[in-house]
Structure 1
Amino acid sequence: MPDYSAARYNMVEGQVRPNKVTDHALVDAMSRIPRELFVPKASRGIAYVDEDIPVAKGRYLIEPMVIARLLQEAYVKPTDIVLDVGACTGYASALLSRMAATVVALESDAELASRAEATLRELGVDNVVVVQGPLEQGYAKQAPYDVILLHGAVAEVPPEILEQLAEGGRLVTVVSPDGRMGQARLFQRTGKVETGRILFDAATPLLPGFEPKPVFEF
């Protein structure tokens, strides 16, 4: 079994810290969680490169710098309940497990959900619950959430997911209205009002179910 500790160290020191990621819990999680276990075996040699890694048809692990900056901007606290929409193979959920109290990992693909559950169990993660269902609806059964992560780019954030935020809750994702270059954004709920702000540019692949709506021309 190859030792990926050097690659993990280089990812943190070369991609994460230089991009203003200073949250100690997050940096510690990225230094410890074996990202290589969350990609196909054939891709383990590139698990730590600064790119989105394909793990299934149309599904990716977001590149390390982008996921790190999104999670830092979410200001995850040890008492938070988090929803990871499009959990994929569970890498972001594993990171969040070291930052939050409870993580609900929502995945629509049965095989990916099974892989996520098995890998998290292998790592001894006991505060992540993997659930299966349509991504674009969120998971209202366990709402409200202090933090919601949409693990991929979206043309827009569905109102029904924003409604699952708790008072003061934060949602982070990459918004890409045309499916090309997008912008990482933070949305916050105060009372019945959601506000948003742009964080940085990111060319993150679209999350299935969140594609731009067709424009009809007459």
Structure 2
Amino acid sequence: MAPAERPAGAGYLTLRAGAEATGEFEDRRSRFIAQLVHVGGERDAEAFLAEVRARHHDARHNVPAWTLADGCERCSDDGEPQRTAGMPVLEVLRGAGLADVCCVVTRYFGGTLLGPGGLVRAYTAAAQAAVAAAGESGAICEMTLVVPVTVQLPYALHDRVRRLCADAGGRVADALFAEDVQLSCVFRAGEEAPFAAAVRELANGEDLCRVGEPRFAEF
């Protein structure tokens, strides 16, 4: 499946690492159990799918769908009629604005055929239930494109630089006090430049800031 279009630098929602949310739906004795987790890439998603298949080895179907922050998406109907299972689950993940997540919906067959429309509704409902459970449990977090800035400064400027950081919308993630002070600051992408300029002005033109590479993180 072709990568999805995601605006460059756009934030996204994901599950916190280590969290798993589940949701269930039942129709005419067929049980649909959705299991939703954070993944760091396709290898993690494939490993989770294998884990779910082992967990529910007696189930008729284990339908996977995952979407990653780099735009890569995958889904499979795992033996269900084409586009009645994997795609509906993927659409739920897309609709919720989630990325770096994998959802596997396990189906225990109840003995009655549900038809294409019934399958789409059931897989959709199970995935929606898992997403809702993740939200209710506080497992969903927002990832923002951030830029780390390290500031090496004399003690005399410490309080003023902290205030400049806060005024620019940043936060101090760590501080190291030795012969001088090292502040590890984090800013939303684009907000680090005014801070660095303000620190340079405060230090009479001396460049005290080291700007790192942008990355996605909770902010």
State the TM bucket, normalised to the shorter chain.
Answer: under 0.3
- TM-score using structure 2 length: 0.26
Flag the structure with more relative contact order, 1 or 2, with Cα contacts below 8 A and sequence separation at least 6.
2
Structure number, greater radius of gyration: 2
Q: Which structure dedicates a bigger proportion of its chain to strand?
A: 2
- Normalised to the residue count of structure 1, the TM-score between the two structures is 0.26
